[in-house]
Amino acid sequence: MKGIAHFITGVAVATFFPEVVAQAAQGSLLPMLGGVAGILPDTIDFKFVRYLERYHEEIDPGPEPDAREIAERIAAAMRQAYETEEPQRVMLHTIRVGADLWRQYAVRFDPGHQGGETPPLQQRGAVEVRIGPLVDTGQVPLPGSEPSRQNMGTTANGRRLPAVAPSSAARVEIGVPLVHTYDEEIKIDIFSGPSFTFERQGDRLRVHFLDWHRRWSHSLTLATLLGLGTAGVAASIEFLTRGALTRTPLWAGLIAGLGLASHVLEDQLGFMGSNLLYPFTGARTEGLRLLRSGDAAPNFLTVWTAAALIVFNLDRFSSRPRLDPGWFLGLAVALPILVLGGLYRWRRRRGRPEARESLQQRDIVAEAEEIELG
């Protein structure tokens, strides 16, 4: 889900408690605390965790990228992970050539088989790298900037193009069977590049995309700790400043914990899932695959539903409620979910089937781009 969807969901959760609504009417910011907690997991991952990750190999293509060299270094890390049975983490850096200009390149992992998730052992995977055009911050390609022997060192739209190596596309055989069904290229262009973790599982090698995402930061364990910690800090501040305790720290802890938990549970509706009970569990729990978190329809429905519930709760906890619960919830909540949600599901079923890993990748990319551009 987009950040605004997580934020407003956290606010909506807070409004289900009449005392919180009453305090908000007096100027309290408790509902906003729920919203902040709602966007906290992705903020932790993309602003902090990603920079704490340690990589076995960092690939910086430089101003003259060579597709074959990039592919061979990735392939070497993959073979090492398979042979040593030790996971290998690889970071691919972007190619920045100007203040608002990047050289795009793409990576694709080919399992060497069609359909299904488990390739026969005799089939060996490969990694493909393709050097692409120059793009701006909006990821719009610069016309005439595709790498080729003809345009190396020439100009496009009055801008000098940096030279690129003759090897603008390459395919390197890995020599081991892959479990990877991404059906699209992973494009690397603006801001920070992606990372991969290569891990041997049985007789095959699995490719994990942005393996550091949705781990401990997306757990109900962290939601519990955040709630307890927030309540403790709020109680300490209240006691030191007022010499007495009220129920406000309790509500602050509850709202913070539920706000973060709402983010985790919303993410479970998608494909990637989260590590719900870290550190008691070591892997992500697969999502319900009901939606793609980057799609417009689910995000709109989430924001609309949360806003409707906020209005409903503010009304029913007021001194003179005016909304009929049945009519309002039916028309403002149930009807949009049935109509728009049903249309969304119908369109998805009519579309071309896509591999689960590919959909997971799209969800992560959508989240990453929003954080970077935000």
Supply the DSSP string of 37-81, one letter for each residue: HHHHHHHHIIIIIHHH---SEEE---SS--HHHHHHHHHHHHHHH
DSSP 241: H
Helical axes 30-44 vs 248-267, angle rounded to 10°? 40
- Tens of pLDDT, residues 219-260: 999 999 999 999 999 999 999 999 899 999 999 999 999 999
Quick one: tokens of 188? 């690397």
**Model pLDDT, residue 178:** 87
Q: Single out the residue of 170, 102, 165 nearest to residue 133, CA to CA.
A: 102
Give the pLDDT band of residue 145 (cuts 50, 70, 90): confident
pLDDT surpasses 90 at 314? yes
Range 307-314 average pLDDT: 97
Average pLDDT of the residues in 341-367:
72
The pLDDT value recorded for residue 87 is: 95
CA 198 to chain centre: 19
Higher confidence at residue 300 or residue 175?
300
Q: Give the lowest-confidence range in 128-132, 149-153, 290-294.
A: 149-153
The band of 164, judged by pLDDT with boundaries at 50, 70 and 90, is very low
Average pLDDT on 285-296 reads: 84
Look at the alpha carbons of 304, 305, 310, 316 in this order and tell me if their dihedral is positive or negative: positive
Residue 355 is predicted with a pLDDT of: 57
- In this predicted structure, what is the pLDDT of residue 272? 81
Rounded CA separation 124/120 (Å): 9
Instruction: Report the pLDDT value the prediction gives residue 353, as an integer from 0 to 100.
Output: 62
Q: Are strands 95-98 and 155-156 parallel, antiparallel or unpaired?
A: unpaired
Residues with Cβ within 8 Å of residue 311, at least 6 apart in sequence: 323, 332
Query: Region 284-294: what's the mean pLDDT?
Result: 83
Q: Is the pLDDT of residue 264 over 70?
A: yes
Instruction: Look over the chain and give the mean of its residue pLDDT values, rounded to a whole number.
Output: 86
- Listed residue (333, 317, 340) closest to 25, CA to CA: 317
Look at 108-122, 162-176, 208-222, 283-297 and tell me which has the smallest mean pLDDT: 108-122
Report residue 3 as tokens: 């950040």
Q: What is the DSSP pairing of strand 57-59 with strand 88-92?
A: parallel
For residue 219, the model assigns a pLDDT of 96
* Cβ pair 205, 196 in contact under 8 A: no
Mean pLDDT within 256-273: 93
Task: Please state which of the ranges 91-105, 120-134, 206-220 shows the lowest mean pLDDT.
Answer: 120-134
Q: If you average pLDDT over residues 23-47, what whole number do you get?
A: 95
φ, ψ of residue 205 in degrees (nearest 5): -110, 125
Place of tokens 């079923």: 349
Helix ranges, the chain (H): 3-14, 18-25, 30-44, 50-52, 67-84, 220-242, 248-267, 296-316, 325-328, 335-350, 356-373
Under the banding of pLDDT at 50, 70 and 90, the label for residue 371 is low
pLDDT band of 113, cuts 50, 70, 90? low
Tell me whether strands 101-110 and 186-188 are parallel, antiparallel or unpaired: antiparallel
For the chain, what are the domain ranges? 3-51+215-373, 57-209
Answer yes or no: are the C-beta atoms of 57 and 69 closer than 8 Å.
no
